[in-house]
Amino acid sequence: MYDNNPTLEGLKTMDEARQGSVLFKEHWQTSDAPGLKRFYIESYGCQMNFSDSEIVASILNEVGYVPTRNMEQSDLILINTCSIREKAEETVRKRLRVFENIKKERPGTMVGILGCMAERLKKQWLEEEKLVDLVVGPDAYRDLPNLIGAAEDGNRMVNVILSREETYADISPVRLNTNGITAFISIMRGCDNMCSFCVVPFTRGRERSRDPFSVVAEAADLFAQNYREVTLLGQNVDSYKWENPDTGEKTDFADLLAMVAQVSPLLRVRFSTSHPKDMDDKVLHTMAQHHNICKYIHLPVQSGNSRVLELMNRTYDRAWYMNRIEAIRQIIPDCAVSSDIIAGFCTETEEEHQDTLSMIEWANYSMSYMFFYSERPGTLAARKYADDIPEEVKKRRLNEIIRLQTAVSLRHNQADIGKTFEVLIEGDSRKSDQDFAGRNSQNKMVVFPKREGLRPGDYAQVRIKDATSATLLGELV
C-alpha cells in the first residue's frame, strides 16, 4: 500500500495512484484448461470488490467455469465495477471499448457488468451499452449461474436486487491473484451511514454482519494453507454486530478481532475501515492485548473542519476525532494511523481547508488517500448542496494536501530509522529479486536484502537504516 504514496506529479491521476493502493485495478488471470468454459474477471474499486470477485470465482467454479488469464480466449468477460468517483466510472467505460473489440472477433463471448456500477445504473446499461449481456449487483452473485444460462439462450439479463441478509458466509472464496501470504475476509456488507458525498449506501445496500464463526473458520482455513495475514473488511468495521439466533449471545467488533487473533499467534490480523464515530476504546484495548493484531488503524477524517464534517453527515466533529486519536496514542502508543481526505467539498472555504491541513499535521498520519470531491448522482450532497468549488480550486487544495501529507509521511518514516521491526515477508521487492519486501505491524512497506533460509510467509527482524515517504529500507538483525 505504501508504494503508491501520491506525489505532486501524481495530482492529475489521483485515482490511478489509488488504484495501486486501497483502490486497485487488477487484471486477474490464471490457468487455462481445454474443453471447459472459461471466464475472465477484472476488478476495480475497493478491497471489498476484490473480495467479491473471489466469491464470484467460487460460484462460477461450481458450475464448471474455470478462470483464464487470456481475455481473448474467454467465453465470459466480467468486470467488477466501482462508482465512488466519476473517474472510476470513466475507467470502466474505457475497458468496455476493449471488450467490444474482442466481442467483434468472437461474437459468442458474453460480457457481464458486476458490482457498484451495475447497481447504480441497473437496466440503463442495456440501453447504453449494446455489448452487455449481464448486469449483476453485489448481492445477486448467487444468481449468476441462472443468469448466465439465460444469457446463453440469447437473453440480456439483469439482477440488481439488494438483500438485507446476504453475506455469502457459506461460500469459500477462490483466492485470485494471491501472494499466498495475505488475504481479505469480508465480515460485513453494505453501509447505513449516509455520508452525504457517498454512493456506497446506494450501491451496496443496508449494513449486515456475517456470522463470526464463519469468519474464524475462513481465517483458520487460510492459516492451514500457510497464509499468515488476514484483513477483515467492511465499510465500517466498528459497527460489526452479530447475535447468535439460538443463544442470544452478542459479538461486537472487538470480540470478533479477539476471536480471529486466537486462530494462531502466527496469523496477523488487520482490518479496514474504521469509522471515527464508532471506534471505541474496547477495540483499542483488544488491539493492545494481542501482539498479532496489527498496530495500524485506517481512520478516515475526510475534513478537519467541523462545519464541513456536519455537511458531510459524518456525525462527528473535529474535537471528537481528535479525542479518538488521543485514545489511540494513549492505549496503543506504537500505533500508526492513516486517513482518507476529500478536498473542495461543497461550500468549503479557504479557512476550512486550512483546518484539514492542520489536522494532517496534528494527527501525524503515516499516509493518506486524498481526493477532490466528485459529485455522485442521487447522493444527499448532490440533492442538497451546490458543487460550487471550481475545479482548479479543488485541485489546488488537493495539491496542498498531498504536499503536506508527503512531508508528514517522510517525517513519520524517518522517525523509524534505527528501530527494529518484525516484518512479514510477502515476496520479492518490486525493484530487485535480491531484496524481500514485507510490512511491519504499522503497515509500512519494508525492503531489505535477502538471506538464505528465509522465505515469504516468514517473520524477519529488520533494523531500519533509511526511509522515503513511501518505504522503509533496512537490514536483517
Residues that bind ligand SAH (CB under 6 A): 84-85, 197-198, 200, 235-236, 273, 275, 300, 302, 340, 342, 371, 373-374, 376
Q: Which is nearer to ligand F3S, 3 or 340 (CB)?
A: 340
254, amino acid identity: A
Question: Least distance in Å: CB of 191 to ligand F3S?
Answer: 8
Which residues in this chain contact ligand F3S in the complex, by CB under 6 A? 45-46, 48-49, 82-84, 115-116, 199-200, 203-204
Residue 85 binding result from ligand SAH, ligand F3S, ligand SF4, none, given CB thresholds of 5 to 8 Å by partner type: ligand SAH
Q: Is 201 in the site for ligand SF4 (CB under 6 A)?
A: yes
Residue 45 interacts with, from ligand F3S, ligand SAH, ligand SF4, none (CB under 5-8 Å by kind):
ligand F3S
Alpha-carbon distance 124 to 299, whole Å?
35
Under DSSP, the state recorded for 175 is: P
* Alpha-carbon gap, residue 473 to 463, rounded angstroms: 8
Is the Cβ of residue 49 or residue 339 nearer to ligand F3S in the bound state? Answer: 49
Kindly state whether residue 193 participates in binding ligand SF4, applying the rule CB under 6 A: yes
Q: Contacts with ligand SF4 in 244-303 (CB under 6 A)?
A: 275
Give the DSSP H or E segment for 384.
helix 380-384
Using CB under 6 A, pick the residue from 56, 92, 176, 195 that binds ligand SF4: 195
CA dist., res. 454 & res. 329, Å (int): 34
Dig out the grid coordinates for 477 from the structure.
Answer: 538483525
Which residues have CB under 8 Å from 194's CB, separation 6+? 201, 313, 380
What number of other Cβ atoms are within 10 A of residue 280's Cβ?
14
Nearer residue to ligand SAH within complex by CB, 182 or 196: 196
- Write down the least CB distance from residue 368 to ligand SAH, Å: 9
Closest approach of ligand F3S to the CB of residue 225, in Å: 26
Count of residues that interact with ligand SF4, criterion CB under 6 A: 10
Q: In the complex, what is the shortest distance from the CB of residue 115 to ligand SF4, in angstroms, rounded to a whole number?
A: 14
* 189 lies in the site for ligand SF4, by CB under 6 A: no
Closest to 466 (Cα-Cα) out of 447, 450, 451: 447
**Residue with smaller CB distance to ligand SAH, 300 or 438:** 300
274/471 with CB nearer ligand SAH: 274
Report helix, strand or coil for 116: helix
What one-character DSSP code corresponds to residue 76?
E
Query: Is 236 among the residues that bind ligand SF4 (CB under 6 A)?
Result: yes
Q: What are phi and psi of 315, to 5 degrees?
A: 65, 20
Q: Quick check: helix, strand or coil at residue 156?
A: coil
CA distance from start to end of the chain: 25
Minimum CB distance to ligand F3S smaller for 206 or for 403: 206
What contacts 24+ positions apart, CB below 8 Å, involve 321-329? 321/276, 321/359, 322/362, 322/363, 324/276, 324/279, 324/299, 325/299, 325/362, 325/363, 327/281, 327/284, 328/284, 328/297, 328/299
Do 187 and 256 meet the contact criterion of CB atoms below 8 Å apart? yes
Of 38 and 204, nearer to ligand SAH (C-beta) is 204
In angstroms, what is the minimal distance from the CB of 275 to ligand SAH?
6
Residue among 332, 268, 266 nearest 299 (CA):
332
Asked whether the beta carbons of 347 and 388 are under 8 A apart, the reply is yes
Nearest-approach distance from CB 164 to ligand F3S, in angstroms: 17
Q: Three-state SS for 429? A: coil
Residue 201 interacting entry, from ligand SF4, ligand SAH, ligand F3S, none, C-beta within 5 to 8 Å by type = ligand SF4
Find the shortest distance in angstroms from Cβ 81 to ligand F3S. 7
Q: Which residues pair with 302 in a beta bridge?
A: 341
> Any idea of the CA torsion for 143, 147, 148, 151, to the nearest 10 degrees?
180
From 11, 79, 200, 445, residue interacting with ligand SF4 (rule: CB under 6 A): 200
265: which residues sit within 8 A by CB, 6+ positions away? 291, 292
Q: Residue 80: helix, strand or coil by DSSP? A: strand
Nearer residue to ligand F3S within complex by CB, 144 or 199 = 199
For ligand F3S, which residue has the nearest CB? 45
51 binds, among ligand SAH, ligand SF4, ligand F3S, none (CB under 5 to 8 A by kind): none
> CA-CA distance, 286 to 255, in Å (whole number)?
8
Residue 376 interacting entry, from ligand F3S, ligand SF4, ligand SAH, none, C-beta within 5 to 8 Å by type: ligand SAH
Angle at 142 between CA 136 and CA 146, to 5 degrees: 75
Smallest separation, CB 411 to ligand SAH (Å):
23
DSSP state of 174: P
Q: How far is the CB of 314 from ligand SF4 (least distance, A)?
A: 7
According to DSSP, the residues that pair with 232 across neighbouring strands are 185, 271
In this complex, which beta carbon is closest to ligand SAH, that of residue 103 or of residue 394?
394
Cβ closest to ligand SF4, residue 114 vs residue 195: 195
Residue with smaller CB distance to ligand F3S, 48 or 215: 48
- Return residues touching ligand SF4 (CB under 6 A): 191, 193-195, 198, 200-201, 235-236, 275
